Amino acid sequence: MSLEIADPRSGRTATGSARARSRGNFEKYSWIFMRVSGLVLVFLVLGHLLIMNVLDGGVQRINFGFVAGRWSSPFWQTWDLLQLWLAMLHGANGMRTVINDYAEKPATAFRLRMLLYVVTVFIVALGTLVIFTFDPNIA
Amino acid sequence: MASAPAGTLYRGGEGMWSWVAHRITGVAVFFFLLVHVMDTALVRVSPSAYDVVIATYKTPIVNVMEVGLVGAVLYHALNGIRIVLVDFWEPGPRHQKAMFRGIIVIWLLLMIPGTYFMLIHTIESLFGSTS
């Protein structure tokens, strides 16, 4: 006959703790995501800014034809798609943190977060659609 | 004035102000990103619709704002690397002040030529190329 010893604090952590009531390790994964996506974005975004604003004629040479030339290459399509998704999720998660820090009323914080999520989904969907359906011969 | 309690990384001094600047640049870049995806989406409307809006990016005043945008992104990127080093590099927290001074130096070294090249394209397109 074995002796059953419950885990320390098991009676409370199972249902009562803040972590158990919330969403598991969501905040930990969001913290890790900010660092991983941030390091990838350092290369993607600084490369993007260097190409678009500094090299050759900088912003002065950008027009529809320039975009069409770039997006004829799967390399730049992939670059821009990854950049769009990572930048929007990194930025939205940062804004979520800012809202949670400064919005004092829970209802205000909730409304601002919902607005943020709607805008984020809209922009990510719009940008993704544009990259995948780009037509260089549009009239 | 009383000095900050020992052992705090985020109250007063480099630790706090680097964090404040990280927030401000992050929020500013996020709002620009929303606008930027929408202006690029005009390539699905027509070439002329896109070119008309992109023309505003080429005006001198907006061009100077782009230097500010690049400066904000560059600071956020460099300080982000510093944050990763503070979090994951064992001696990182002890060197956070030196790393902050380091990223300011790197920022200046990149922004001085960067500003020159970003503005010279606009100046040349306004007054003709000198080369």
Do the chains contact at A130 and B43, CB–CB below 8 Å? yes
Domains and CATH numbers, chain A: 20-133 (1.20.1300.10)
Do the chains contact at B44 and A59, CB–CB below 8 Å? no
Interface test with B, best of A53, A66, A129 (most B CBs within 10 A): A53
Residue B35 has pLDDT above 70, yes or no: yes
Q: Which pLDDT band, with edges at 50, 70 and 90, does A14 fall under?
A: very low
Q: Which residue in the set B30, B84, B118 is minimally distant from A35, CB to CB?
A: B84
Do the chains contact at A67 and B43, CB–CB below 8 Å? yes
For residue B23, give the amino acid letter.
Answer: R
Per-residue pLDDT of A49-89, as tens digits, reads 999 999 988 899 999 999 999 999 999 999 999 999 999 99
Can you read off the two tokens belonging to residue B34?
A: 């929303």
Instruction: Quote the pLDDT of residue A5.
Output: 75
Chain A hits for B124, Cβ within 8 Å: 60
The C-alpha of A41 sits at a distance from chain B's nearest C-alpha, in angstroms, of 8
Instruction: Quote the pLDDT of residue A45.
Output: 97
Can you read off the two tokens belonging to residue B12?
A: 């007063």
Per-residue pLDDT of B88-98, as tens digits, reads 999 989 999 99
Residue B131 has pLDDT above 60, yes or no: no
Q: What angle do the packed helices A26-49 and A74-102 form, to 10 degrees? A: 130
CB pairs under 8 A between A and B: 108
Q: Which pLDDT band, with edges at 50, 70 and 90, does B32 fall under?
A: very high
d(C-alpha B34, C-alpha A88), whole Å: 8
For residue A117, give the amino acid letter.
Answer: Y
Name the residue ranges covered by the structural domains of chain B: 16-123
* pLDDT greater at residue A107 or residue B122: A107
For residue B9, give the amino acid letter.
Answer: L
d(C-alpha B47, C-alpha A134), whole Å: 11
Task: Assign a CATH topology to domain B16-123.
Answer: 3 helical TM bundles of succinate and fumarate reductases (1.20.1300)
Average pLDDT over chain A, rounded to an integer: 89
Do the chains contact at B118 and A35, CB–CB below 8 Å? no
Instruction: Quote the pLDDT of residue B39.
Output: 96
Question: Which residues 7-26 on chain B approach chain A with CB closer than 8 angstroms?
Answer: 23, 26
- Nearest Cα to Cα of residue B55 among A52, A51, A136, A60: A60
d(C-alpha B99, C-alpha B78), whole Å: 10
Its sign, for the CA torsion A46, B64, B100, B108, is: positive
Chain B hits for A64, Cβ within 8 Å: 43, 47-48, 50-51
CA separation, residue A37 to residues A75, A103, B80, B93, B94 (Å): 19, 26, 11, 22, 25
What ipTM did this prediction achieve?
A: 0.87
